[in-house]
Structure 1
């Protein structure tokens, strides 16, 4: 039987490309001079897509270009780049890469929280710029005695909570529903969580259902000593409201790994001394990205070998 034909719209790691080429007929769309013409020539035979956020939005119109499409294997735990509901309507399975990046993202979230509170990047610049000789670096806020709210207590949210337990801070959470067997206090709304917290760590998926979940009202509830940490998706936070809250002292600071219009970051945020900014590196270690790539390959292999996906997203999971 001929190998299944897989389309990769945008480049992925060399080892992912090599593994897919060893098992499938792989079409590298990004290498084509006439991408539209190339798509028209191969679309009827494409049975799988291997995509990342670099591929752009995989929406219903994109899915409809491939009449034989069976599976979309997405690189990343978040999959708001793929219209999973549209895929489900068409009988197409969508997979993501959960689990393998939980610890890496949780580590980064805690590191970003500490860097924001203790002003670690600012202190580094203070030394590099030779200002230490002129006097001590200003005292910073502390994590001691803080109440940390986790917005989204999924697998990564729980991994963050486990790490923060070791710091002796109070932890609460908000999610779509109260979770059985979770000892942390549950708050009914994001605003209630913010009002009960000094720090809010955002760890919910992106998409229309969570767009601007963190809004001006929630930021006001967090208060002037409050700190917002976002390691999920930029769309979850109303960036205009956040800039205003940081500018006028509604909240005390923020640590951001994600933004609404990446890689563009508002000039106002770049100029703020009470903000730590990272270039969306939550899972960006060699080991974790390699594990994510292997799971993309493994999902496609399992599907075409055994007719099952290893990590289908809920919208396209059987039953």
Structure 2
């Protein structure tokens, strides 16, 4: 019996997920120059693909993969996948779903607390021997903040649950009401930003959320406001955010993600009041083990004719 053909988008993904060659006929794209030309020649018969979610799967690429029926993604984001085109072709798409939501939420709250309580600046103050000269100015109590969460999916809900014990007010906005949510939903993102002192972006990162946090949203958050992003960099109008930070029209930013990654950190040297991390919110041993095993499990489920988990399309 022939093994099902599995397309693996990179050597790194293969090493992480480790699909057994005893189970699958693995088609590798690592080192391939013209990927479309390669798939035009070898794409027939490929029934499933294993991806990080950023690699391109659009109408044109689907034309090169006539037998593709599953795209299994190891992350929550699916910015490279045209979900509408996939659904129209009967191609299932799965992602990490809630498997790493708790760890991402932990990091979002960590970024918020570190920035709001000026942890890095206080560390620098001590290291620079400035403590004997004077104390730093007092920070604002976390309990007095109004935290607006953009997107109340798995990660957004986990963020809200973690913040509730701090005593701060919590509200959210997303494209669809969730009557079961215990936190109030604003009618628009602009209104949420105008109300909030801290805006945490946890929306799903795909074409529907590209540029969601506009210049107007940033302006509404204002010169005392803090924006935290654990979604995708392109969800925020990054040039508008940088300009607002430089002009002090936005109080601060704590960012785990950027529009084009990896960034050159020195390019941000003149951008004030920014706390940055290299896209690590979901990077824990436990989360990695769960999402990699989850992707492989869905591939096996697909070929066994079993229901898929965390299905998006």
TM-based fold match above 0.5 = yes
Distance 1:42 1:131, change over 3 A: farther
* Residues 219-264 of structure 1 deviation map (CA, whole Å, 9 limit, x = unaligned): 1211221111111011110011101111112121110111111112
| Distance in structure 2 (CA, Å) of the matches to 1:287 and 1:31 | 30
Distance 1:269 1:139, change over 3 A: farther
Q: How many residues align?
A: 312
- Provide the residue aligned with 1:49 in structure 2: 49
3-state SS, counterpart of residue 21 of structure 1:
coil
3-state SS, counterpart of residue 56 of structure 1:
coil
4+ runs deviating over 6 angstroms: none
| Distance in structure 2 (CA, Å) of the matches to 1:197 and 1:312 | 33
1:216: how far off?
A: 1.6
- Provide the residue aligned with 2:199 in structure 1: 200
Q: TM-score, structure 1 length as denominator?
A: 0.90
Q: Given the alignment of the two structures, is residue 3 of structure 1 paired with residue 6 of structure 2, yes or no?
A: no
Q: TM-score, structure 2 length as denominator?
A: 0.92
Distance 1:92 1:297, change over 3 A: same
Distance 1:222 1:33, change over 3 A: closer
Q: Given the alignment of the two structures, is residue 16 of structure 1 paired with residue 17 of structure 2, yes or no?
A: yes
1:199: how far off?
A: 0.6
1:307: how far off?
A: 4.7
1:156: how far off?
A: 0.9
Determine if contact 2:39/2:65 at 8 Å carries over to the other structure: no
3-state SS, counterpart of residue 23 of structure 1:
coil
3-state SS, counterpart of residue 94 of structure 1:
strand
Distance 1:274 1:92, change over 3 A: same
1:62: how far off?
A: 1.6
Instruction: Give ranges in structure 2 of 5+ residues lacking alignment.
Output: none
| Distance in structure 2 (CA, Å) of the matches to 1:200 and 1:166 | 18
Instruction: Give ranges in structure 1 of 5+ residues lacking alignment.
Output: none
| Distance in structure 1 (CA, Å) of the matches to 2:265 and 2:244 | 14
Query: Please, which moves more after superposition, 99-108 or 38-47?
Result: 38-47
| Distance in structure 2 (CA, Å) of the matches to 1:281 and 1:13 | 20
| Distance in structure 2 (CA, Å) of the matches to 1:233 and 1:91 | 27
| Distance in structure 2 (CA, Å) of the matches to 1:32 and 1:244 | 39
Determine if contact 1:259/1:265 at 8 Å carries over to the other structure: no
1:140: how far off?
A: 3.5
- Provide the residue aligned with 1:71 in structure 2: 70
- Provide the residue aligned with 1:217 in structure 2: 216
| Distance in structure 2 (CA, Å) of the matches to 1:33 and 1:133 | 59
- Provide the residue aligned with 2:27 in structure 1: 27
1:218: how far off?
A: 1.1
3-state SS, counterpart of residue 283 of structure 1:
coil
| Distance in structure 1 (CA, Å) of the matches to 2:126 and 2:307 | 55
* Residues 182-214 of structure 1 deviation map (CA, whole Å, 9 limit, x = unaligned): 232211000100111111111111223222211
Determine if contact 2:17/2:296 at 8 Å carries over to the other structure: yes
After superposition, residues 1-319 of structure 1 pair within 5 angstroms as: 1-10=1-10, 11-12=12-13, 14-17=15-18, 19-31=19-31, 38-53=38-53, 56-132=55-131, 135-264=134-263, 269-313=268-312, 316=313
Distance 1:23 1:134, change over 3 A: farther
**Pairwise CA RMSD:** 2.2
| Distance in structure 2 (CA, Å) of the matches to 1:205 and 1:39 | 29
Query: Please, which moves more after superposition, 136-145 or 241-250?
Result: 136-145
